[in-house]
């Protein structure tokens, strides 16, 4: 069995299409989807339709799917999530809501487990040390390779008591998750951990493209191959600018563009900047209203720290 493992598509159908084509060329016969299908790029309806019609897929829900039910509001901060929720059919939303948070199954003598967030398996080990907010310039001043990232994870986890405590309680098997948007994999004892990175918005400093991971299982043993399908980031950005999302959520979209171009987290650094800006001008309205949101963005472009 050859699985293509795909996570964090975030509405980026052009990236998903390329990954599926590449995976099929590589001989993938089944697909694992580890959550976060919408918000950030505007083609979430196409993504959901694609997933719903795939006969050979196992799919878990992500955290972004929680934001499909936001109440109406005048704020700009959550305009994109509200727009996504309003733009999806009731049937698609019900399908997403019904997705399981965790799947456990067996394949050719190997136990597999999948959730969106690695917390369920290894506690905070990954998020606390390799969450995207921890991947700043001081740690990785330039582009790195997935091999370097996996090696660094191994080193950090090797020294983490918390990680080893969780590891000691895990049954042998393969553990699949997404959420950090960092592509890595590592074997510890009888456990293999795989995060395929984010198909739709890689934030792991490993360069633009659509990451995913192939897992081949045969007669109880397995191999892993990390792949990243390249495509044109400026073409993607121009396509987003032609959609309704860009009209409804220009600032959010522009911050996403900077993340795509840098392959680094920016939103987590943008939000505190807007908070500081709002406090400076004495605006206590939360979530942020359009005037402060727009002005805070312009201020961020000039004065923001962009690790």
Cβ–Cβ < 8 Å for 304, 297: no
Tell me the window of 3-11, 42-50, 165-173, 186-194 that interacts with Fe ion (CB under 5 A). 3-11
Separation of alpha carbons 187 and 280, rounded Å: 48
Q: How far is the CB of 25 from Fe ion (least distance, A)?
A: 26
* Residue 47 or 110 with smaller CB distance to Fe ion: 47
Dihedral angle of Cα 92, 94, 97, 102, to the nearest 10 degrees: -80
DSSP 3-state of 186: strand
Cβ–Cβ < 8 Å for 38, 48: yes
Q: How far is the CB of 36 from Fe ion (least distance, A)?
A: 4
- Using Cβ positions, the residue closest to Fe ion within the complex turns out to be 36
DSSP 3-state of 192: strand
Strand partners of residue 4 = 31, 214
**H/E run at residue 80:** helix 79-87
Tell me the window of 8-16, 91-99, 157-165, 220-228 that interacts with Fe ion (CB under 5 A). 8-16
Cβ–Cβ < 8 Å for 214, 4: yes
* Token representation of residue 46: 């196409």
Tell me, residue by residue from 32 to 71, as one string, x for binding to Fe ion by CB under 5 A and - for no binding: ----x-----------------------------------
Q: How far is the CB of 198 from Fe ion (least distance, A)?
A: 6
**H/E run at residue 122:** helix 119-122
Q: Give the total of residues touching Fe ion (CB under 5 A).
A: 2
Cα distances (Å, whole numbers) of residue 228 to 94, 183, 197, 261? 32, 9, 9, 15
Q: Is residue 265 near Fe ion by the rule CB under 5 A? A: no
Separation of alpha carbons 153 and 116, rounded Å: 18
* Residue 41 or 274 with smaller CB distance to Fe ion: 41
Cα distances (Å, whole numbers) of residue 290 to 17, 44, 244, 276? 34, 24, 17, 16
Q: How far is the CB of 10 from Fe ion (least distance, A)?
A: 6
Interactions with Fe ion, residue window 18-37 (CB under 5 A): 36
* Residue 167 or 182 with smaller CB distance to Fe ion: 182
How many C-beta atoms surround the C-beta of residue 183 within 10 A?
26
Q: How far is the CB of 272 from Fe ion (least distance, A)?
A: 19
* Residue 39 or 76 with smaller CB distance to Fe ion: 39
* Residue 8 or 254 with smaller CB distance to Fe ion: 8
* Residue 110 or 122 with smaller CB distance to Fe ion: 122
* Residue 36 or 254 with smaller CB distance to Fe ion: 36
* Residue 7 or 122 with smaller CB distance to Fe ion: 7
Interface with Fe ion (CB under 5 A), residue from 3, 5, 6, 8: 8
Separation of alpha carbons 171 and 168, rounded Å: 8
Tell me the window of 4-12, 234-242, 255-263, 299-307 that interacts with Fe ion (CB under 5 A). 4-12
Binding site for Fe ion (CB under 5 A): 8, 36
């Amino acid at each position: 069995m050859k699985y293509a493992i795909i996570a964090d598509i975030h509405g980026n159908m052009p990236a998903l299409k390329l990954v599926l084509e590449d995976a099929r060329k590589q001989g993938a016969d089944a697909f694992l989807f580890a959550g976060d299908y919408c918000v950030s790029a505007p083609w979430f309806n196409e993504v959901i339709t694609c997933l719903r019609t795939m006969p050979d897929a196992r799919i878990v829900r992500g955290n972004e799917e929680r934001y499909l039910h936001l109440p109406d509001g005048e704020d700009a901060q959550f305009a994109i999530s509200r727009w996504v929720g309003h733009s999806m059919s009731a049937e698609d939303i019900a399908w997403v809501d019904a997705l399981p948070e965790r799947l456990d199954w067996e394949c050719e003598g190997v136990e597999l487990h999948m959730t969106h967030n690695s917390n369920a398996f290894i506690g905070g080990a990954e998020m606390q040390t390799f969450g995207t907010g921890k991947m700043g310039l001081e740690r990785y001043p330039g582009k790195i390779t997935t091999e370097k990232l996996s090696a660094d994870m191994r080193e950090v986890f090797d020294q983490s008591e918390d990680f080893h405590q969780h590891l000691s309680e895990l049954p042998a098997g393969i553990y699949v998750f997404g959420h950090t948007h960092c592509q890595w994999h590592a074997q510890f004892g009888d456990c293999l951990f795989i995060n395929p990175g984010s198909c739709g918005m890689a934030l792991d400093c490993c360069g633009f493209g659509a990451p995913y991971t192939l897992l081949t299982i045969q007669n109880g043993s397995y191999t892993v191959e990390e792949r990243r399908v390249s495509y044109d980031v400026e073409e993607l950005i121009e396509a987003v600018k032609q959609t309704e999302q860009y009209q409804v959520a220009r600032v959010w979209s522009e911050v996403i563009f900077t993340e795509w171009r840098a392959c680094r987290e920016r939103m987590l650094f943008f939000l505190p900047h807007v908070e500081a800006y709002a406090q400076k001008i004495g605006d206590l309205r939360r979530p942020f209203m359009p005037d402060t949101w727009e002005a805070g963005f312009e201020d961020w472009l000039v004065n923001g720290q962009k690790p």
